[in-house]
Amino acid sequence: MTSDHMKTRRTPAEPDRPHHAYREVTDARGRVYRVGETDRDILGHSRRLMVYLPWLSMMAISVSEYAYGSAEDTLSAAHGWTQSDTFWILSVWIFFQAGIAFPAGWLRERGLLTARRAMYLGAVMCLLGFLALAHLRDVLPAIVGFGVVGGVGSGLIYATCINMVGKWFPERRGAKTGFVNGGFAYGSLPFIFIFNYAFDTGDYDRVLDLIGVYVLIVVAVCAFFFQDPPKNWWPADVAPPTDPVNGANATSLAKNPPAVRQFTPAEAVRTGMLPLMWVMVVMTAGVSIFGISFQVDFAKEVGFGPLVAASSMGVMAVINGIGRAVVGWLSDLWGRRTTLVFVIVVLGLAQFGVIWAGEAKNQWLFLFFAFLSGFGGGAFYPLFAALTPDYFGENYNATNYGLVYSGKLISGLFGGGLGSMVVGAWGYDGAYALAGGVSMVAAALALLLRQPGRGDTDRVPAPAPRPAT
């Protein structure tokens, strides 16, 4: 049974616009779908812009993580830092980049921080981070400047972009989220080669200053157009799942049915699925960060030249990004969980393959497994980003996904800083073997994922009582 009633609204951002009628349709489980308003009614233009602008912003900030490994040697020489110093700077950056997602989501869902302001603030903080990396010689101030300030700024931008595209495309979020998330990896490609070939102790500060300004401009321009849809919004031209599923989105909705209702963060935690997803992010992101941090150094130690070392990282970055888009599209066809298991198994096998290629001194084999590592090491991110609203709904997705993504807090520590300790104790072969084993355990855990409330045996926490209106 479904029920509906008519309402009208005026878009808050543009009070002079005419009223737009909409219906709130309630399905048999009590989930509400707000239908009738088009994306142009709300935005004044196509919602496609809410894919391309977040994508551009993600490409801009990707330099902070995915190109950092290529800049470490020059930064160490310029500032007198040890290898451990540079690894811990990146680890702190990852910690705060992931850690800000939940508090930022909490502020956004309570109307204390709009998407646009979050982007503006993040852009300024990213600029300050690059200025700190360029001009602060002592490692502790550099950790605070780039790791803390720059990490928070990048995290604000990342979380806002991912949540934005998920809200605007609830009927096929896999492909769209994957496309946007991919920019966070391959956007760093030009900077990987800049840092390997045109970045030295004579010009490093100017290069970093210019990169900071570039990030500021790109993100600020994109942020000007950011706007969230109303809560429970469903595209006017797509039949809500209360009706028979058919048309262009039938396969995606059948394989990835919408959440049975809107779960608050506390309710999502009580299902047991959100904590399981958090543990999996800790494990898979740790392996991914390990590869990002050490692949160039491992290639050089094995005896491969700087071109192969840079190319292996470039291949990883490109495939990392393209893989995110591909698996997002694939998850709409296969289902999120099946695709996630596949991706994590590939990530684990790639770690063992890197060891094999290094022992064989085979450059082409090394590049091939860098290809696989890049694919697996990035593709799981958009899957978790799509799984979270699939399981728990869109209304609290900023905080729910913030909780899931916060697993990267721990990953940054053992993938970067602690990873360097493992390399020192066990060597690269031992560290890569451990990373491969961790991936396989994560793939096994993925088989336990179930959408809360969809199966007959699932126990779903009762929804919190709604305040009177």
CATH for 338: 1.20.1250.20
Collect the ranges in the chain with pLDDT lower than 70. 1-20, 29, 242-253, 293, 296, 300, 305-317, 413-420, 455-469
Q: What is the per-residue pLDDT for 374? A: 77
Q: What is the per-residue pLDDT for 467? A: 46
Can you give 373-384 as a three-state secondary structure string?
HHHHHHHHHHHH
Q: What is the per-residue pLDDT for 307? A: 64
Q: What is the per-residue pLDDT for 51? A: 93
Residues 197 and 323 in one domain: yes
Residues 60 and 22 in one domain: no
The answer to whether residue 143 is domain-embedded is yes
Q: In the numeric block, which tokens belong to residue 209?
A: 């200053």
Residues 114 and 158 in one domain: yes
Residues 26 and 156 in one domain: no
Residues 27 and 73 in one domain: no
Element (H, E) at 26: strand 20-26
pTM of the shown model: 0.78
The answer to whether residue 328 is domain-embedded is yes
Q: What is the per-residue pLDDT for 117? A: 95
The answer to whether residue 411 is domain-embedded is yes
d(CA 159, CA 152): 10
Residues 274 and 295 in one domain: yes
Residues 384 and 410 in one domain: yes
Q: What is the per-residue pLDDT for 153? A: 96
d(CA 33, CA 235): 9
In the DSSP assignment, the letter for residue 6 is E
- Chain-centroid distance of CA 274 in Å reads 16
Residues 26 and 134 in one domain: no
Domain hosting 90: range is 49-230+263-309+318-446
Number of domains in the chain: 2
Residues 132 and 12 in one domain: no
Residues 96 and 221 in one domain: yes
- Chain-centroid distance of CA 232 in Å reads 23
DSSP notation for 233-262:
B--TTS--TTSPP-STTHHHHHHSPPPSS-
The answer to whether residue 322 is domain-embedded is yes
Q: What is the per-residue pLDDT for 421? A: 72
Q: What is the per-residue pLDDT for 65? A: 83
